[in-house]
Structure formats: structure tokens, C-alpha cells
Amino acid sequence: MPELPEVETVRRALQPVMEGARFEKVVARRPDLRTALPTRFAARLRGQTVVRLARRGKYLVADLSSGQTLLMHLGMSGSFRIDLSSTSRAARAHDHIVFHMSSGAIVTFNDPRRFGMMELVASRALREHRVFRLLGAEPLTTEFDAAVLARLARRRRTTLKAFLSDQRLIAGLGNIYASEALHYAGLSPRRRASTIATRSGEPRDAARRLVVAIKKVLSHALKRAERPDADEAGSEFRVYDREGEPCLRRGCRGVIRRIAQAGRSTFYCPICQL
């Protein structure tokens, strides 16, 4: 499942060709993805301009001139392809939605597993939509600090890993970057979430370290995604998918372990993550 850095990278790629551009033609090659497409989906988009293309958690949010908002989610395997050629390319397998933009770009949504989603919502009702109503704090904003994290963690008996991965608390931070942030902060994924806050909800040092680690991990992933010469993603992970390999923290002689938490793999160092 793509996490915040991957979705933000997609947004940044789409923004120059979609924001300020008009949908000249929309082709829906099937009536559904994970769920059914909105009624008259193509017709309702045609002629509308993308006023702003933003991101909320793992969702792409396109505000339209019609007063509606197009919500898009990549699901497990979804991706967008941008074709700047004036000549249409032949459709590939699993090309489900095609946007012909007035910018000259053809934007194609490809999704082999069809876990992606596209939905049209009245912009005025967006904050009350079931998706946004349940989304937590945005971790890359200036408002997200140790005090916010501590208030969220106060009295939570779940593990730190489960706490960080809960989209209702922190939006966009998933399995991979939760493991990475915990290693940067030197905190065990098994540790109870409430231990990073005092009883009154004030941040302990662990909360301060963890906020710095979260922002560092996500910012690093974004910068890396923008490098055209970047190697495959796993090559720079400190713990994720590195079971049995030595810990990369200077001076630590630990070996990375993998455990299952809430049905997902967690990678950590049992020596330096306490």
C-alpha cells in the first residue's frame, strides 16, 4: 500500500499537467474500481477545471470548478501515467480511467488489482465526508509536534507501531515508515503508546524524538523519490525488509528482527530500540 511519500510524489507529478487544466475528455473503460464509479462520472468531469490538486493522508484531492471534489486513492497497485505526446498511445492492460487534459497531457490510471478508488463529493461537504472525518493529523505540517503526538498517545494501551499506523490518529504514515521512524527514534515497536506522554498528556523526551524521526523519515523519502538516479526503494531503509542484517545505528551490534503486529510485518533492532 502506498504511503504518504509515494502519494505526495504522485501529486507533485500530476500537479503541473492537471492543476489549472480542464478535462476535455474522460474515458472510463469499466464502471468500477474497488467500488462503483460515480453516476455519469465521465460526463460530470468533462469541461471542469482542476482548481487545486492537493493531498490528504493517502488521498489525492482535486477541487473542481463545478464545486465538486474528485477524491482518488491508489489502493494496493494503482498508478498514474502521464503522456505528453499529442498522439494517443495504445491502451495497456489494466488502464481503467483516462483523462485528456487541456494542458495537452493524457493522464491514465492503471490498477491491476482494482483496489483504487475515485469518487465525486460536493466540496462544501468534504470535511464531513466519511473519508476525511476519520483521518488524523498530517505529520508533515508545522502543527504536528510533540505536544500533538503526546495528546494522541495519552492513555492508549496499544503498541507504538499500531498507534503510528492508525490513520484515524496520524494520516498517511503506514507500515514501512512507522518501522523506520521508530528505529530513528530508538523506540521499540512493542512499547505501549501511552509511555511517550505524561499522565496529563504532556510530551516526554520519547515523543519529541519520535516527531523528529517521523518528519525526517517522510522528508527523506520525498527527496529520494525526486532523484531520477535513485536506486530501488528498499536499498536505503534502515530496518524495513532487512531481517537478519546488522543494525545500521553507529555502535550498535544488533541484528534486525521481524515480528508480526496486527497482521503486518514489523522490523526493528532489539538492542537499540527500547
Query: Among the options 55, 58, 156, 242, which is catalytic?
Result: 58
215 is catalytic: no
Residue type, 230: A
Give one word for 262, left, alpha or beta, with left for phi > 0 and alpha for psi -120 to 50. Answer: left
2 is catalytic: yes
Query: Among the options 22, 25, 249, 264, which is catalytic?
Result: 264
Which residue from 237, 229, 274 is spatially nearest to 254, judged by alpha carbons? 274
228 is catalytic: no
In Å, what is the CA distance from 24 to each residue of 3, 17, 87, 106?
30, 13, 15, 10
Neighbours of 219 (CB within 10 A): 12
The whole-angstrom separation of Cα 22 and Cα 51 is 9
The whole-angstrom separation of Cα 125 and Cα 127 is 6
192 is catalytic: no
Q: How crowded is the C-beta side of 245, counted as CA atoms within 13 Å?
A: 11
Q: Give the CA angle between residues 168, 216, 61 to the nearest 5°.
A: 45
Query: Among the options 2, 5, 189, 203, which is catalytic?
Result: 2
Catalytically annotated residues: 2-3, 58, 264
